[in-house]
């Protein structure tokens, strides 16, 4: 939503530009994305509410799995640990429910 085709082209061209131009193009691309983000949030709620989860119950496990796709390295490992912990808690809760019935 914030990155148009021309911004993606600029990013793809970065390795082919001299180092002095890489800094300029990179900053310019980020500034354009920031302008697009500001523009999105200054418009009526309709466009951004498409992406929002409002009336649904947000499941932490699902949210973490979605976020994990955009991480790597140590951050991804921390999220994996959180996911594993949540799964273990769910298993314990299920086993307690089964023991109580």
What integer pLDDT is reported at residue 55 of this predicted model? 58
Whether this model's pTM surpasses 0.85: no
Judged on CB neighbours under 10 Å (0-12, 13-18, 19+), 15 is exposed
What digits encode the pLDDT tens for the residues 10-49? 889 999 999 989 999 999 999 999 998 888 888 776 555 5
Long-range contacts of 50-54 (CB under 8 A, 24+ apart): 51/1
Share above pLDDT 70 across residues of the chain, in percent, rounded to a whole number: 84
Report, as an integer, the average pLDDT of 61-87: 90
């Amino acid at each position: 939503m914030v990155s148009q085709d021309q911004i993606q082209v600029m990013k793809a061209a970065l390795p082919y530009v001299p180092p002095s131009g890489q800094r300029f193009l990179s900053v310019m691309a980020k500034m354009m994305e920031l302008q697009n983000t500001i523009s999105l949030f200054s418009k009526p709620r309709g466009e951004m509410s498409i992406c929002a989860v409002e009336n649904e119950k947000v499941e932490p496990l699902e949210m973490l799995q979605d976020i994990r796709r955009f991480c790597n390295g140590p951050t991804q490992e921390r999220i994996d640990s959180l996911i594993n912990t949540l799964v273990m808690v769910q298993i314990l809760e299920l086993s307690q429910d089964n023991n109580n019935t």
